[in-house]
Structure formats: structure tokens, C-alpha cells
């Protein structure tokens, strides 16, 4: 499969923005993730558990945040 080229702008550093950024970057786009607050994670970073599965929020979000910070 041919790698994509170009730049993408993702506005919002919540779990959806992080996921979209990572998927676009994996496809070969140069991604700019913009968040108005001082840290990424959005509301999910403030929650203890998710609904309806009661999964640990930071257990889902943490690895994605690390992956974003390590992505070139």
C-alpha cells in the first residue's frame, strides 16, 4: 500500500483526537495535534472508570498518550 503524504491538523487532544492523530500518522501523514489546554487527555483523563464496561480510564488513555509523545 502506498504511504500517504501531506499534513493533517487534528483539533482537540481528547481520546478521539489522540486516536485520530495516531491512525493518520500510521498512514504516513504528518499530523499536528492541537489542544487548548496544557495537557492532552480531555475529560477521559479526569474519569476513574468508563461506562458501561467500568474499565480503568487511564489504562485506556495512558498508552495512547505515551504513543503520541513517542511518535516522530
Would you state the pLDDT for residue 1?
60
For residue 2, tell me if it sits in a domain.
Answer: no
The answer to whether the CB of 68 falls within 8 A of the CB of 22 is yes
pLDDT in tens, 25-54: 999 999 999 999 999 999 999 999 999 999
pLDDT at position 5 is 82
Q: How far apart are CA 61 and CA 17, in angstroms?
A: 11
pLDDT at 71: 86
How many domains, in total, are found in the chain?
Answer: 1
Asked whether the beta carbons of 49 and 57 are under 8 A apart, the reply is yes
Domain range enclosing 44: 7-70
Is residue 10 scored above 90 in pLDDT? yes
Amino acid at each position: 500500500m502506498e504511504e500517504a503524504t501531506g499534513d493533517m491538523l487534528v483539533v482537540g487532544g481528547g481520546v478521539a483526537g489522540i486516536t485520530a492523530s495516531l491512525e493518520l500518522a500510521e498512514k504516513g501523514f504528518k499530523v499536528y495535534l492541537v489542544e487548548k489546554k496544557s495537557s492532552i487527555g480531555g475529560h477521559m483523563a479526569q474519569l476513574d472508570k468508563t461506562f458501561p464496561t467500568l474499565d480503568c480510564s487511564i489504562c485506556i488513555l495512558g498508552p495512547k498518550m505515551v504513543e503520541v509523545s513517542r511518535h516522530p
